[in-house]
């Protein structure tokens, strides 16, 4: 009986082992599938039970390292696991797929940790031994080598700036990103994945849009933006029009990204409406921004016919109010890689955007391009290190005077999650434009929102812009070159024509929070009914 018992146990052990082997193989194959679909957290969770035994499960350790490399804040553990994977999969005369992957992704991990020389050594080794790998893999190796080279060069000439978090009123222990700020910096909209109680006590962790206002020298506690309509999914901030009345949003509609717009009327936001064709399409549109006058819309799309994955296009408003056929911004902006998050300066002369191409130091970097005399965009210029890093740097919103930037990052301190920061450049940097603001009231101190404010350059009588006061506050905001004289006129039905002249002086810094140039409060005289 004892022997039979032992034999039964032995057979049972064999069956368990076979089942265990099948389960391990199934988990690894499923994790591979998750990786291929960009589901990195799911991939890691599938192989996490095996990573403690690298000798027994080296494939699981490799997959875990690759997955963690693509999860924010997990780069240190990714580096540790990929080092172990590279040691496990030796480089032989006919190296395995895993041997190649372990070294390639270890090179990426070293790059993220600023170990550029070691990363270049690995990538150079792979390039020298690339006889049996496909062409696209060779191109990926060359791309990583360029990232390392660019990083070394950019770090040699760092950009001078100060950076400070916006504080607990805006930031939390969750992720905050995509800050969108009004021209006078009095209001900030941003995206956060902090939990929201939608139904009963159940918490939903979708990305939502929040708002905070600058009041009495500080940002007010952020509140969930009240946007009409029910939507269960990720919705994020994209941009805001110059007059602050139109907020552009991104929304995932069943796997296809679309751009939406909500309009503010009498202090309330209306239900978001999708941008019509040809802006939105059956492909992904992920980001868009208006020109200052609202007659052009720059947006990102992966539609066919571009230079690479996602390209930046511009569509101009037609006389009938529809959007014209999108025009690709061309090879000075777009590359065979991905471009994203365009932001146009108020004077229309500078385009900021993110790109994986050009001379990026790794992933997406922030670039700018200036409009040339022939109406074409000039060569893209890297905004510099340490604004740009070896990791992805995507959303960059400078103030009109180029002195400050609202920026989201996880790299600045030891806090978990992505937070929003304010970058301030030294006063020696250029300042081309200033914020000009005023309020338009009637004799009863009521806002005259139906007024049209026109501002002209006094030197040449060129129209610099047409503005409408806010319906609630009566405030309008303009962006004008400093050190010049201007003529202002206001037309409103049932009111006398208002005219005045003013000068915007040259000052060190223009911006919000009391630093804008304010024209004295304007009062319109109502036309008396003489009938």
* Span 351-393, pLDDT tens digits: 999 999 999 999 899 999 999 988 899 999 999 998 898 988 8
pLDDT value of position 485: 93
Q: All domains of the chain, ordered by start, with CATH?
A: 2-155 (1.25.40.10), 172-424 (2.120.10.30), 433-523 (2.60.40.10)
- 324: closest CA among 279, 288, 285, 291? 279
Q: What are phi and psi of 413, to 5 degrees?
A: -140, -165
pLDDT value of position 20: 60
Contact present, 257 and 251 (Cβ < 8 Å): yes
Pair of tokens at residue 238? 């994209």
**pLDDT over 90 at 434, yes or no:** no
Alpha carbon distance 355, 397 (integer Å): 15
**pLDDT over 50 at 404, yes or no:** yes
Alpha carbon distance 215, 229 (integer Å): 29
In the block, residue with structure tokens 């192989």 = 47
Higher pLDDT, 509 or 477: 477
pLDDT in tens, 298-326: 999 999 999 989 999 999 999 999 999 99
**pLDDT over 50 at 16, yes or no:** no
Contact present, 118 and 84 (Cβ < 8 Å): no
Pair of tokens at residue 172? 């939390």
Alpha carbon distance 422, 430 (integer Å): 18
Pair of tokens at residue 87? 């040691």
Alpha carbon distance 326, 239 (integer Å): 19
pLDDT category at 201 given cuts 50, 70, 90 is very low
Alpha carbon distance 297, 242 (integer Å): 12
pLDDT category at 527 given cuts 50, 70, 90 is confident
**pLDDT over 60 at 186, yes or no:** yes
**pLDDT over 70 at 337, yes or no:** yes
Share above pLDDT 70 across residues of the chain, in percent, rounded to a whole number = 89
118: helix, strand or coil: helix
pLDDT value of position 308: 87
Contact present, 126 and 141 (Cβ < 8 Å): yes
Sheet containing 452-457, strands listed edge to edge, beginning at the edge strand earlier in sequence: 463-467, 452-457, 484-491, 498-504
Alpha carbon distance 38, 48 (integer Å): 17
pLDDT category at 512 given cuts 50, 70, 90 is very low
pLDDT value of position 513: 47
- 463: closest CA among 244, 243, 292, 289? 292
**Angle subtended by helix axes 116-128 and 135-155, to nearest 10:** 160
Q: Which helix (H) or strand (E) covers residue 165, if one does?
A: strand 162-165
pLDDT category at 21 given cuts 50, 70, 90 is low
pLDDT value of position 205: 60
pLDDT in tens, 147-169: 999 999 999 999 888 888 888 99
Residues whose CB is less than 8 angstroms from the CB of residue 216 and which lie 6 or more positions away in sequence, other chains included: none
Contact present, 204 and 198 (Cβ < 8 Å): yes
Sheet containing 285-290, strands listed edge to edge, beginning at the edge strand earlier in sequence: 285-290, 296-301, 311-316, 327-328
Contact present, 272 and 253 (Cβ < 8 Å): no
Rg (CA), the chain: 28
CA–CA distances in Å: residue 415 to residues 72, 165, 170, 172, 218: 12, 11, 14, 9, 21
pLDDT value of position 486: 95
- 68: closest CA among 24, 121, 106, 33? 106
Alpha carbon distance 213, 227 (integer Å): 17
Write down how long the chain is. 531
Burial 12-25 (b: 16+ CB within 10 A, else e): eeeeeeeeeeeebe
Range name among 191-205, 356-370, 440-454, 479-493 with the lowest pLDDT average: 191-205
Contact present, 209 and 189 (Cβ < 8 Å): yes
């Amino acid at each position: 009986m004892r022997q039979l018992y032992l034999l039964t146990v032995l057979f049972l052990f064999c069956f368990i082992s076979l089942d265990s082997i099948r389960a391990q193989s199934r988990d690894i194959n499923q994790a591979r599938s998750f990786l291929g679909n960009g589901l990195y957290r799911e991939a890691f969770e599938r192989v996490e039970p095996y990573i403690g035994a690298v000798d027994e499960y080296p494939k699981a350790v490799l997959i875990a390292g690759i997955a963690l490399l693509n999860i924010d804040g997990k780069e240190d553990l990714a580096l540790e696991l990929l080092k172990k994977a590279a040691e496990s999969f030796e480089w032989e005369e006919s190296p395995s797929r895993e041997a190649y992957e372990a070294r390639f992704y270890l090179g990426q991990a070293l790059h993220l940790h600023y170990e550029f020389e070691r990363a270049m050594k690995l990538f150079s080794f792979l390039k020298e031994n690339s006889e049996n790998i496909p062409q696209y893999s060779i191109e990926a190796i060359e791309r990583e080598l360029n990232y390392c080279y660019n990083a070394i060069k950019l770090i040699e000439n760092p950009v001078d700036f100060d950076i400070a978090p916006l504080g607990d009123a805006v930031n939390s222990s969750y992720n905050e990103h995509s800050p969108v700020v009004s021209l006078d910096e009095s209001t900030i909209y941003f995206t956060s994945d902090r939990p929201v109680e939608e139904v009963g006590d159940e918490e939903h962790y979708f990305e939502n849009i929040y708002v905070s206002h600058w009041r009495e020298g500080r940002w007010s506690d952020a509140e969930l933006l009240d946007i009409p309509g029910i939507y269960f999914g990720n919705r994020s901030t994209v941009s805001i029009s110059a007059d602050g009345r139109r907020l552009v949003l991104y929304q995932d509609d069943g796997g296809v990204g679309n751009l939406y717009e909500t309009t503010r009327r009498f202090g309330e936001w209306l239900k978001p409406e999708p941008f019509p064709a040809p802006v939105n399409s059956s492909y992904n549109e992920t980001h868009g921004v208006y020109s200052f006058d609202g007659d052009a819309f720059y947006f990102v799309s992966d539609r066919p016919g571009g230079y690479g994955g996602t390209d930046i296009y511009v569509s101009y408003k037609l006389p009938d109010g529809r959007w014209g056929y999108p025009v690709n911004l061309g090879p000075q902006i777009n590359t065979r890689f991905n471009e994203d998050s365009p932001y146009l300066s108020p004077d229309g002369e500078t385009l900021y955007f993110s790109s994986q191409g050009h001379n990026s130091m790794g992933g997406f970097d922030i670039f700018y391009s200036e409009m040339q005399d022939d109406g074409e965009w000039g060569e893209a210029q890297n905004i510099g290190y340490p604004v740009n890093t070896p990791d992805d740097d995507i959303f960059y919103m400078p103030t009109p005077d180029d002195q400050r930037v609202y920026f989201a990052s996880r790299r600045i301190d030891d806090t978990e999650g992505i937070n929003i920061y304010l970058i301030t450049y030294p006063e020696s940097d250029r300042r081309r434009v200033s914020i000009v603001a005023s309020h338009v009231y009637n004799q009863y101190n009521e806002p005259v929102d139906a007024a049209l404010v026109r501002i002209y350059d006094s030197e040449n009588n060129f129209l610099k812009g047409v503005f409408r006061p806010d319906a609630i506050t009566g405030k309008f905001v303009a962006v004008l070159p400093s050190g010049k004289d201007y003529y202002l006129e206001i037309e409103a039905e049932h009111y006398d024509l208002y005219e005045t002249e003013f000068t915007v002086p040259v000052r060190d810094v223009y911006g919000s929070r009391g630093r804008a140039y304010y024209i004295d409060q304007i009062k319109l005289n109502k036309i008396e009914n003489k009938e």
